[in-house]
């Protein structure tokens, strides 16, 4: 289920802890799965001089926290803000689709720590170059599914893959029986998502 890199970062997590007198703090969690990540950072000369985190969650959440802390260390604030879910998952040699939200949490928690720092240093914030991406690209990157793996559920005639647990279920099913998640389809692209979503995570279509 997990790559060797994921297991390595899970068994030997890097940069665990809390930065003393942190310049920025960012916390992100998912109430559905219970994962929670808190990142603390130290900034020096416009770069991330130190990054530490505390993560409560599954092995993937721990591995993602460890990996993104390594990836962001020493980068400029602009470079760290540009780190994406896809890049984190790719560095881990892929994550199962039902665990892709973990890399979202890791990137979001780090970004929140940087934004916390910038909120107290408006002169630095004014000079920061933030990444600009088309909305469609952001949605695709954030919810695109498995990166770097080929052993996932594959849709076939009359069957689709649950975006939460990656189980094969009947097309247009309102419920995934394996994980119990209520589902709905996007009227524009037919992408499958959780019931009650306000917009499609795949194409960005906004529901009325």
Residue 149 pLDDT greater than 50, yes or no: no
Active site residue 203: no
- Residues 49-108 pLDDT 10s: 999 999 988 888 899 999 999 999 999 999 999 888 788 888 999 887 667 666 678 888
Instruction: State the average pLDDT for the chain.
Output: 81
Q: Which helix (H) or strand (E) holds 109?
A: helix 100-119
Note the CATH architecture for domain 4-130.
Alpha-Beta Complex (3.90)
CA atoms of 127 and 111, how far apart (whole Å):
16
Say which residues have a Cβ less than 8 Å from residue 197's Cβ, sequence separation at least 6.
Answer: 184, 207
Catalytic, 102? Answer yes
| Domain segments of the chain as ranges | 4-130, 153-208
Confidence (pLDDT) at 78: 92
Split at pLDDT 50, 70, 90, the class of 158 is: confident
Residues with Cβ within 8 Å of 178's Cβ and at least 6 positions away in sequence, in order, are 162, 165, 167, 169
State the pLDDT at residue 98.
Answer: 67
Residue 70 in tokens: 């390594």
Q: What is the DSSP letter of 25?
A: E
Q: Which residues of 14-35 are buried (b: 16+ CB within 10 A; e: fewer)?
A: ebeeebeebbbbbbbbeeebeb
Interval 180-206: pLDDT, tens: 778 888 888 777 877 777 777 667 777
Q: Is the dihedral of CA 73, 79, 81, 86 positive or negative?
A: negative
Q: What is the pLDDT of residue 150?
A: 43
Nearest to 119 by CA among 24, 19, 52: 24
pLDDT of residue 115: 94
Looking at mean pLDDT, say which of 48-62, 117-131, 167-181 comes out highest.
Answer: 48-62
How large is the average pLDDT for residues 171-175?
A: 82
Can you give the pLDDT at residue 23?
97
Residue 116 to residue 23: CA distance in whole angstroms:
8
> Residues 33, 58, 165, 203: which is the catalytic one?
33
Assign 3-class secondary structure to 184-205.
EECCCCCCEEECCCCECCCCCC
* Catalytic residue, candidates 58, 102, 176, 200: 102
At which residue do the structure tokens 């990166």 appear? 147
Select the highest-mean-pLDDT range: 3-7, 152-156, 189-193: 3-7
Distances (CA, A) of 85 to 64, 89, 118, 171: 9, 6, 22, 28
Residue 143 confidence (pLDDT) = 47
Residue with tokens 């599914």: 145
Residue with the larger pLDDT of the pair 201 and 148: 201
Nearest to 67 by CA among 150, 146, 7: 7
pLDDT value at 30 more than 90: no
């Amino acid at each position: 289920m997990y790559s060797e890199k994921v297991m390595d970062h899970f068994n030997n997590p890097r940069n665990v802890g809390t930065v003393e007198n942190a310049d920025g703090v960012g916390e992100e969690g998912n109430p559905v799965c219970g994962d929670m990540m808190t990142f603390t950072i130290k900034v020096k000369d416009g770069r991330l001089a130190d990054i530490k985190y505390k993560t409560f969650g599954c092995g993937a959440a721990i591995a993602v926290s460890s990996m993104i802390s390594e990836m962001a260390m020493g980068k400029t604030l602009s470079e760290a803000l540009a780190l994406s879910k896809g890049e984190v998952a790719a560095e881990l040699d892929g994550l199962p689709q039902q665990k892709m939200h973990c890399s979202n949490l890791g990137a979001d928690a780090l970004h929140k720590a940087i934004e916390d720092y910038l909120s107290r240093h408006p002169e630095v914030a004014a000079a920061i170059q933030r990444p600009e991406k088309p909305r469609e690209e952001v949605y695709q990157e954030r919810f695109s599914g498995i990166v770097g793996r080929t052993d996932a559920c594959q849709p076939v005639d009359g069957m689709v893959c649950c975006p939460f647990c990656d189980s094969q279920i009947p097309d247009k099913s309102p419920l995934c029986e394996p994980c119990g998640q209520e589902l709905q389809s996007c009227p524009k692209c037919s992408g499958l998502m959780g019931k009650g979503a306000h917009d499609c995570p795949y194409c960005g279509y906004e529901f009325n």
